């Protein structure tokens, strides 16, 4: 019964993205999209304040792993740490889009706040996605390196690092001590995937080889809750089979075809991170916010080109 309920939850959550786009795209109103995106950014700003308070006062209620253990991390008001990295990456990208469009001090401050707090979440996924964004930010602004304001900006970053070096050292040690221990004992890939590659090798592959037939490869198999490894591609194959892979490839292909380069950067970054951690396609919150944010960016660019 427990497996049946878990499979039903995964099935409904997994199909939600496809159904949401099919229904929602027919009723798009730009002003509503803008309102929704702004509400999301402000909520994430409030959540970031909660993260800072949680970190400074060491409050369990705001911790990422509040259920016990010694792992470091604070996610504020968010419910699931598996979603936190995705949501912060989307929020950072949208905030940067808004700031690039209109150099607003408030949005710029929120952007910095989001970036700082993404490293306090304590998950490798959140840190990886933020580093991907910072790489994009550097490439996108490399043409400004010859301007004086860039040197002032870099000087400000260096000064901030110096002033808050003890906090940075504390966060770095707490967040990466476990990663470093696993890296020394098991290797880089095991530390990156948090032993998911071991589960893949020891449970997933043997189960497939011993129990699956041709129909399973096409449509998936029943024992999903026991065998899933939380690596998005393999979970997708395990539950939906190759049919599911084709469906989602088509979904993202259609989404990317109608998107701007910046939107495609967001989409591909999320997919890349999900390959090492999972919980993207079945996170209703993440999928809904991703689609709304992508559609907002696309429509805003279209309106800008029409002016």
Of 83, 84, 49, 77, nearest to 62 (Cα)?
77
Residues in the chain: 307
Instruction: Please report the pLDDT score of residue 187 as a whole number.
Output: 76
What is the residue-wise DSSP string for 251-285?
HHHHHHHTS-HHHHHHHHHHHHHHHHH--STT-HH
Look up residue 147 and give its DSSP letter: S
What is the residue-wise DSSP string for 179-223?
HHHHHHHH-HHHHHHTTHHHHIIIIIHHHHHHH--HHHHHH--S-
Residues 236, 248 contacting (CB under 8 angstroms)? yes
Low-confidence ranges of the chain (pLDDT < 50): none
Of 173, 187, 275, 260, nearest to 230 (Cα)?
275
Look up residue 74 and give its DSSP letter: B
Instruction: Please report the pLDDT score of residue 228 as a whole number.
Output: 83
Please calculate the CA angle 300-301-304 and round it to the nearest 5 degrees. 90
Instruction: Please report the pLDDT score of residue 118 as a whole number.
Output: 92
> What sections of 28-147 are H helices per DSSP?
30-57, 81-101, 105-118, 124-140
Look up residue 63 and give its DSSP letter: B
Q: How far is CA 68 from CA 61, 126, 181, 238, 297, in A?
A: 11, 20, 19, 30, 39
Residues 75, 84 contacting (CB under 8 angstroms)? yes
User: Residue 146 burial (CB < 10 Å; 0-12/13-18/19+)?
Assistant: exposed
Instruction: Please report the pLDDT score of residue 276 as a whole number.
Output: 86
Instruction: Please report the pLDDT score of residue 4 as a whole number.
Output: 64
What's the Rg (C-alpha) of the chain?
21
Between CA 9 and CA 15 the distance in angstroms is 10
Instruction: Please report the pLDDT score of residue 157 as a whole number.
Output: 67
Instruction: Please report the pLDDT score of residue 2 as a whole number.
Output: 53
Q: What pTM was estimated for this model as a whole?
A: 0.87
């Amino acid at each position: 019964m427990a497996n049946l309920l878990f499979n039903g939850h995964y099935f409904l959550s997994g199909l939600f993205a496809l159904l949401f786009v099919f229904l929602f795209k027919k009723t798009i109103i730009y002003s509503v999209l803008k309102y929704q995106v702004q509400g999301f950014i402000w909520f994430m700003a409030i959540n970031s304040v909660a993260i800072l308070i949680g970190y400074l006062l060491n409050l369990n209620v705001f911790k990422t792993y509040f259920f016990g253990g010694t792992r470091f991390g604070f996610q504020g008001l968010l419910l699931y740490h598996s979603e936190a990295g995705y949501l912060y990456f989307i929020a950072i990208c949208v905030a940067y889009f808004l700031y690039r469009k209109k150099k607003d001090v408030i949005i710029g401050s929120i952007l910095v706040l989001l970036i700082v707090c993404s490293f306090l979440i304590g998950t490798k996924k959140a840190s990886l996605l933020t580093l991907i964004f910072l790489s994009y930010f550097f490439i996108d602004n490399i043409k400004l390196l010859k301007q004086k304001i860039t040197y002032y900006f870099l000087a400000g970053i260096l000064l901030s690092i110096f002033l808050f070096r003890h906090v940075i050292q504390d966060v770095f040690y707490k967040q990466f001590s476990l990663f470093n221990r696993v890296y020394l004992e098991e290797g880089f890939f095991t530390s990156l995937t948090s032993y998911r590659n071991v589960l893949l090798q020891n449970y997933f592959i043997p189960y497939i080889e011993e129990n699956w037939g041709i129909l399973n490869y096409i449509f998936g198999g029943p024992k999903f809750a026991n065998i899933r490894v939380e690596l998005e591609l393999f979970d997708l194959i395990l539950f939906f089979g190759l049919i599911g892979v084709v469906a989602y490839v088509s979904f993202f292909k259609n989404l990317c075809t109608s998107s701007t380069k910046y939107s495609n950067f967001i989409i591909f970054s999320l997919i890349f991170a999900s390959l090492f951690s999972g919980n993207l396609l079945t996170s209703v919150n993440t999928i809904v916010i991703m689609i709304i944010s992508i559609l907002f960016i696309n429509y805003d660019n279209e309106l800008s080109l029409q002016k």
